[in-house]
């Protein structure tokens, strides 16, 4: 299952006129029987909710007071997630004649039209409170407290993720709740703005709409419905036309294939970084230590020994922890067996928790070769949300390759890589006009789109950008990409193969040489073409355009422009003439 929790509003969603009908209760019972959790998220205070909703025990957790209280029906315990209202605030509201007041553990509620009086009191007392509307209700809570924060606290206790949660609601105060979850649903009677932002609107109103959603969850886990959701799209790169290329992070399998040094790790790292940024949990199976410096993840396993299954799953139990399973410490011949022992347990863990959301298998040809255990081949057919990375797509178990939805080929002969993949699964290769790729580009083939493979410029990863920044600051560019200080008469030939040497040499040459290159805009041209930093080039071009600057002042300004973007050693600082 992908969706393991349903977060539902109460009034106007589950309930009509405060009551949940028997058909909706039966649907809730079927959802719980399917192994999923119900989390009720309401603006009501607990005592009145328990009065009107005797079936509250169906809920694994209840978030009451619009996010301020977390209740556990199984143990009848509750936790306050926000401070109590100020007595002075409540007293002043009463003094000013605000009626229909309801005071909870943290929430203070009234009704329209008293919101103007409430705002005046908040301003006059200098309180950090916010007003949340729920149709005719006016709710006052501490800043930063809403249904989404309360749901997050409930899911943390249940060790579940927002990416495995569906939310349903009807009113203004449900916006944060719906947008925090993977799939957002508005009931038919919802306010228009909530319908606009939701991923889906039910045909039925109130409890009938909830029962409708539950039916889709139980019957097909929303597999068809989620295909229309684009708000979670992950960036891959750009087409030659400039159009952005994205993919939806749900139930897809990717194959990233190409020769060594073709950029597979760069592409994969960028994808993983963006998944982590969105809160998807990832697990990287790393046979050769290529991901040991992936900053968002915990690395398990060392050069001296592989990780234990226990520590892997202890780490994955926290939805916010990403894991690199480093197999370098195992003998090469033992790595496939370890992985084949781990894979069914990962599947079992996914069935219970929906995580890890994505699994990357590096060197897939080594871990899942054609002669792999037959049981693993059957298991692989059930795998989804996988990223397979390989040099040899033709040396991977065909049943694994058959589950791939998108092929991304890199290297000098990407068309041959796609042909190799197709031959391995006995499928005709698609026609393609792209036979060569520029550095930093890939050939993408989405089989479901019926579109021919097309080239895209890969969106760089933050890790790769940091590596490039070090390279340009202190690495060594080849001679044909270095800067040469020659002077007005060409008497010099001083090579600067990085930005540090550029500043060191630039600060040591005579003024005539420095100004000669400056006035010909050669510094900014080099930085744009060979350092590939347009922002730096623009800043230096501004300096070059100020013809009345002295050599000393222009050197200082160029150095400041570089240091704003790159960290230079202390000894490269001010040596201006």
Q: Which CATH code is given to the segment(s) 234-460?
A: 3.40.50.300
Q: Per-domain residue ranges for the chain?
A: 5-79+146-228, 83-144, 234-460, 463-572
The Cα 184–Cα 186 span in angstroms is 7
CB 363 within 8 A of CB 393: no
Digit-by-digit pLDDT tens for the chain (577 residues) are 899 999 999 999 999 999 999 999 999 999 999 999 999 999 999 999 999 999 999 999 999 999 999 999 999 999 999 999 999 999 999 999 999 999 999 999 999 999 999 999 999 999 999 998 888 889 999 999 999 999 999 999 999 999 999 999 999 999 999 999 999 999 999 999 999 999 999 999 999 999 999 999 999 999 988 888 889 999 999 998 889 999 888 889 999 999 877 888 889 999 999 999 999 999 999 998 888 878 889 999 988 889 999 999 999 999 999 999 999 999 989 999 999 999 999 999 998 999 999 999 999 999 999 876 655 566 666 789 999 999 999 999 998 999 999 999 998 889 999 999 999 999 999 998 877 888 889 999 998 888 899 999 998 777 655 544 555 666 677 788 899 999 998 989 999 988 888 999 999 999 999 999 999 999 999 988 888 777 788 899 999 999 899 999 999 999 998 887 775 544 434 333 2
Q: How far apart are CA 564 and CA 562, in angstroms?
A: 5
Helix (H, G, I), strand (E, B) or coil at 15: strand
DSSP string computed for 210-254? HHHHHHHHHHHTTTTGGGG--TT-EEEEEETTS-EEEE--SS-EE
Q: Are strands 234-239 and 244-247 parallel, antiparallel or unpaired?
A: antiparallel
- Quick one: CATH architecture of 83-144? Alpha-Beta Complex (3.90)
Q: What fold is seen in the domain 5-79+146-228?
A: Rossmann fold (3.40.50)
Asked whether 149 and 79 are in contact (CB, 8 A), the reply is no
Question: Can you list the pairs that 119-124 forms with residues at least 24 positions away whose Cβ atoms lie under 8 Å?
Answer: 120/96, 121/89, 121/92, 121/93, 121/96, 122/89, 124/92
pTM: 0.77
Domains 5-79+146-228 and 234-460 share a fold: yes
Closest-CA residue to 215 (of 13, 34, 352, 18): 34
């Amino acid at each position: 299952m992908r969706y393991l929790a349903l977060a539902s509003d109460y009034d106007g969603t589950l309930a009509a006129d405060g009551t949940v009908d028997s058909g909706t209760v039966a649907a809730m019972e079927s959802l719980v029987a399917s192994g999923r959790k119900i989390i009720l998220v309401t603006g009501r205070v607990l005592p009145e909710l328990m009065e009107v909703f005797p079936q509250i025990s169906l809920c694994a957790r209840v978030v009451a007071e619009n996010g301020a209280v977390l209740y556990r029906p199984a143990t009848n315990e509750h936790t306050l997630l926000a401070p109590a209202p100020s007595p002075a605030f409540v007293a002043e509201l009463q003094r000013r004649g605000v009626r229909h007041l309801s005071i909870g553990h943290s929430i203070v509620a009234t009704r329209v039209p008293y919101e103007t009086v409430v705002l005046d009191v908040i301003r006059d007392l200098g309180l950090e409170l916010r007003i949340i509307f729920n149709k005719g209700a006016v709710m006052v809570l501490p800043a930063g407290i809403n249904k989404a924060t309360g749901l997050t606290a409930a899911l943390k206790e249940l060790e579940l993720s927002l990416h495995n949660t569906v939310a349903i609601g009807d009113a203004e105060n449900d916006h944060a709740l719906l947008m925090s979850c993977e799939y957002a649903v508005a009931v038919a009677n919802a306010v228009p703005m909530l319908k606009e932002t939701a991923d889906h609107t039910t045909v039925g109103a109130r409890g009938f709409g909830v029962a409708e959603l539950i039916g889709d969850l139980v019957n097909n886990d929303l597999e068809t419905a989620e295909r229309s959701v684009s708000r979670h799209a992950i960036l891959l790169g750009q087409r030659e036309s400039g159009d952005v290329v994205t993919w939806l992070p749900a139930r897809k399998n990717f194959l990233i294939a190409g020769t060594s040094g073709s950029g597979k790790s760069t592409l994969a790292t960028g994808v993983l970084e963006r998944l982590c940024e969105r809160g998807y949990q990832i697990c990287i199976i790393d046979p050769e230590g290529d991901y040991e410096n992936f900053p968002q993840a915990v690395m398990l396993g060392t050069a001296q020994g592989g990780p234990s299954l226990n520590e892997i799953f202890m780490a994955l139990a926290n939805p916010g922890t990403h894991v690199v399973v480093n197999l370098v410490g195992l003998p090469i011949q033992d790595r496939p067996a370890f992985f084949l022992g781990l894979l069914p347990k990962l599947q079992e863990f996914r069935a219970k928790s929906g995580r890890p959301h994505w699994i990357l298998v590096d060197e897939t040809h080594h871990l899942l070769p054609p002669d792999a255990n037959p049981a693993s081949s059957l298991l692989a057919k059930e795998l989804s949300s996988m990223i397979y990375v390989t040099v040899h797509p033709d040396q991977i178990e065909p049943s694994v390759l058959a589950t791939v939805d998108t092929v991304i080929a890199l290297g000098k002969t990407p068309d041959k890589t796609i042909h190799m993949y197709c031959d391995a699964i006995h499928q005709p290769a698609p026609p393609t006009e792209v036979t060569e790729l520029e550095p930093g580009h890939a050939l993408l083939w989405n089989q479901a789109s019926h579109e021919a493979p097309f080239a895209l410029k890969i969106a760089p990863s933050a890790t790769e950008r940091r590596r490039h920044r070090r390279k340009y600051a202190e690495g060594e560019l080849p001679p044909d990409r270095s800067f040469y200080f020659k002077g007005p008469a060409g008497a010099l030939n001083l090579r600067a193969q990085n930005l540090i040497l550029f500043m060191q040499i630039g600060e040591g040459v005579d003024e005539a040489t420095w100004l000669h290159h400056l006035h010909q805009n050669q510094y900014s041209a080099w930085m744009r073409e060979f350092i590939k930093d347009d922002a730096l080039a623009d800043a230096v071009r501004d300096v070059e355009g100020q013809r009345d600057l002295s050599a000393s002042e222009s050197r200082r300004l160029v150095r400041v422009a570089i240091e704003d973007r790159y960290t230079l050693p202390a000894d490269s600082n001010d040596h201006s003439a």
